[in-house]
Amino acid sequence: MDTNHLLIFSDLLYSLYTSDDAKGINHDLLSYLRMLIPSPYASLLTADPAAPRFTFNGVYCDPADFACAEQKYIDNYEDDEIQWMLHSKVSTVLRESDLLKNESRLHSAIYEKCYRPYHIYDTLQMSIVSERKFLGVITLFRTREDPPFSEDDMTLLKSLDKHLNYIYGRLLLKSPDARTSDSPSAAVKSGRADALMAQAVLTRRESEIVRLVIKAIPNAKIREQLHITDNTLQKHMQNIYRKFRISSRLELFRIMSGTDGSGTAF
């Protein structure tokens, strides 16, 4: 991964971990993915995990006019020869061309109804699954004029699966408070956070904000809970970043959760 792609990947993760709701991250996710893995079309189809039977409940596409094709797919997905991945209990990354011969997939009913007008030649897909519940599927599309999806493309998409499974699961299946209380390592993380905040000499208000940030509480709820303005919150966040010598909310989350790869924040 070159420097430019590394920066895009970092920005994508920051966007994911600092978004307030699932709908708010869908467009950013597709936009970043198309930069990381160049594709003329990208889509995210979401499912309702609470529905008694499998049901799609959202269509997000980049560019937006590709939604016409994906809406037709939803209407006909049972004709898809690889629709089994929509019912899988684990996240899966696949290239359609690895599973189906060209003769089969480029003359299938689903291809004729949905994708032939866009000259689609191959797809790279990843399902989003949390707690064994299917939450959605991301698909990147390429035409005959594009290079085939490579093993590196698959690896790059696969590197996002744990992040997306966690984030969409947190947003769609659990409240932030429930997520914190049922984590077996919550007490350990809390002790680490307290020690690091003491080491950084945070004020009482800064410590309150850090504790809310590492619970993935969105800024709007932090402002509401602490009765402060956005400007005040941003000033506190800048002071927190300065004291920890970091530059983003994602870095703060990693330090406090012990996933920064070091034993100390300094």
Q: Give strand pairing partners of 122.
A: 142
Pairing between β-strand 93-95 and β-strand 120-130 as defined by DSSP bridges: antiparallel
Contact 88, 127 (CB under 8 A): yes
Pinpoint the alpha helices (H) of the chain: 3-17, 22-36, 67-76, 96-99, 102-105, 109-110, 151-158, 161-173, 176-181, 186-200, 204-213, 219-226, 230-244, 249-257
The pLDDT value recorded for residue 185 is 45
Whether 177-257 and 3-173 are alike in CATH topology: the answer is no
The pLDDT value recorded for residue 258 is 63
Q: How far apart are CA 156 and CA 13, in angstroms?
A: 13
The pLDDT value recorded for residue 66 is 95
Q: Where are the domains of the chain?
A: 3-173, 177-257
3-state SS assignment for residue 129: strand
Residue indicated by tokens 């109804």: 113
**What angle (nearest 5°) sits at the alpha carbon of residue 90, between those of residues 86 and 92?**
65
3-state SS assignment for residue 133: strand
Q: How far apart are CA 210 and CA 206, in angstroms?
A: 6
Residue type, 123: T
pLDDT one digit per residue (tens) for the chain, 266 residues: 678 888 888 888 888 887 767 777 888 899 999 999 999 999 999 998 888 788 888 899 999 999 999 999 999 988 898 888 888 889 999 999 999 998 888 989 999 999 999 999 999 999 999 998 999 999 999 999 999 999 999 999 999 999 999 989 988 886 444 444 444 444 445 677 788 888 888 898 998 898 888 776 778 888 988 999 989 999 999 999 999 898 887 788 777 766 554 444 44
CATH architecture of 3-173: 2-Layer Sandwich (3.30)
Q: How far apart are CA 259 and CA 126, in angstroms?
A: 24
Q: What is the CA radius of gyration of the chain?
A: 21
The torsion angle over the Cα atoms of residues 235, 236, 242 and 246, rounded to 10 degrees, is -100
- For the domain covering 177-257, report its CATH number: 3.40.50.2300
What residues have CB less than 8 Å from 89, skipping those under 6 apart? 129, 132, 134
